Amino acid sequence: MNRVKEPQISVIMGVLYRKADTTPLERSVRSILQQTYKNWEFLICDDGSSQEALTTLARFARQDGRIQLVRGVPATDLASKLNACFRRARGAYIARMDDDDWSEPQRFETQIQALEDDRNIAFVGSNVALCRDGKDCGERRLPKFPDVKDFYITQPFIHPALMFRKEALDTVGGYSERKSQVLCEDYDLLLRLYANGFRGMNLQENLLTYSLPSTAKERRRMRHRWNESVTRYERFRDLGRLPLAWPFVLKPLAVGLLPAGLLQNIKRRLEGGCAHFD
């Protein structure tokens, strides 16, 4: 297929895929190829991935000219990879995707229609189906029009389900590559968008299947919890939410001090064993 000259959507995906089994990665890429909306380019930054993943992605790129592999990024963190893709993006809309999730065929068609229908919305996500270790385990329903208060407990958007107006990302300078934002670059980005007057919405249908980490790998390290608290402090400060939001700034650290068994019980009670509360 010939490469589209002027894509309407630029899909960006940062990959650090090191498993020998590339089935989830292939499923993710195919879910983009199977979109009912066809006017897109797919930018994939795969530095640091296994040889199996590199070979798989190179094969997809040979088969479809809309797929471009972005390499030579000096850092392997997600924000650096996404920014490398974003700098090359030509579409008016930027869609996110992750290498272990998959999109429903109508995702792009539905999201771009929502953005074209309402110019007051700068980015749009959706509810998602949930899976863990390849098994379905429920869904996550999100507020349709999240407010800043919806960020206090947890993020009210699913990052790989989002589609943005490129002009909004340009305004805030894309993703932060600071070390204090590692593993919370999406939370930081969205609150910077809110601080600049942009707003998002969630379509009330499942347009993506979101893979939760295996239970054995789910507990986050304290340095990443510290990053989240720093990010929460900076963003809530800029939004004028302090001192009232201080308990939510400290929330990641407090959760990290809970015994593992107690935390797992809380998760199961919150979302029936398929929670992503950390």
| pLDDT, tens only, 222-241 | 999 999 999 999 999 999 99
Does 277 fall in a domain? no
Which pLDDT does position 4 carry in this prediction? 47
Which pLDDT does position 246 carry in this prediction? 98
Flag whether pLDDT at 271 surpasses 70: no
Which pLDDT does position 215 carry in this prediction? 61
- 148: closest CA among 78, 222, 76, 242? 242
Asked whether 40 and 8 are in contact (CB, 8 A), the reply is yes
Flag whether pLDDT at 274 surpasses 70: no
Q: State which residues form the domain around 116.
A: 9-271
Which pLDDT does position 248 carry in this prediction? 98
Flag whether pLDDT at 83 surpasses 90: yes
Flag whether pLDDT at 269 surpasses 60: no
Does 158 fall in a domain? yes
Tell which wins on pLDDT, 216 or 79. 79
Where does the pLDDT of residue 278 fall: very low under 50, low under 70, confident under 90, or very high at 90 and above? very low
Which pLDDT does position 217 carry in this prediction? 47
Residues 79-88: what's their mean pLDDT? 97
Does 1 fall in a domain? no
Does 16 fall in a domain? yes
Tell which wins on pLDDT, 229 or 46. 229
Output the domain CATH number for residue 31.
3.90.550.10
CA 158 to chain CA centroid, nearest Å: 6
pLDDT tens digit string along 90-115?
999 999 999 999 999 999 999 999 99
Flag whether pLDDT at 26 surpasses 70: yes
pLDDT tens digit string along 250-267?
999 998 888 766 666 655
Flag whether pLDDT at 275 surpasses 60: no
Residues 139-160: what's their mean pLDDT? 97
Domain count for the chain = 1
> Average model confidence (pLDDT) for the chain?
91
Asked whether 153 and 248 are in contact (CB, 8 A), the reply is yes
Residues 20-39: what's their mean pLDDT? 97
Residues 2-30: what's their mean pLDDT? 90
Asked whether 66 and 41 are in contact (CB, 8 A), the reply is yes
Does 31 fall in a domain? yes
Which pLDDT does position 134 carry in this prediction? 82
Does 109 fall in a domain? yes
Residues 141-149: what's their mean pLDDT? 98
Flag whether pLDDT at 270 surpasses 60: no
How far is Cα 134 from Cα 183, in angstroms, rounded to an integer?
Answer: 23
Flag whether pLDDT at 1 surpasses 90: no
Where does the pLDDT of residue 56 fall: very low under 50, low under 70, confident under 90, or very high at 90 and above? very high
Does 161 fall in a domain? yes
Which pLDDT does position 214 carry in this prediction? 76
Does 220 fall in a domain? yes
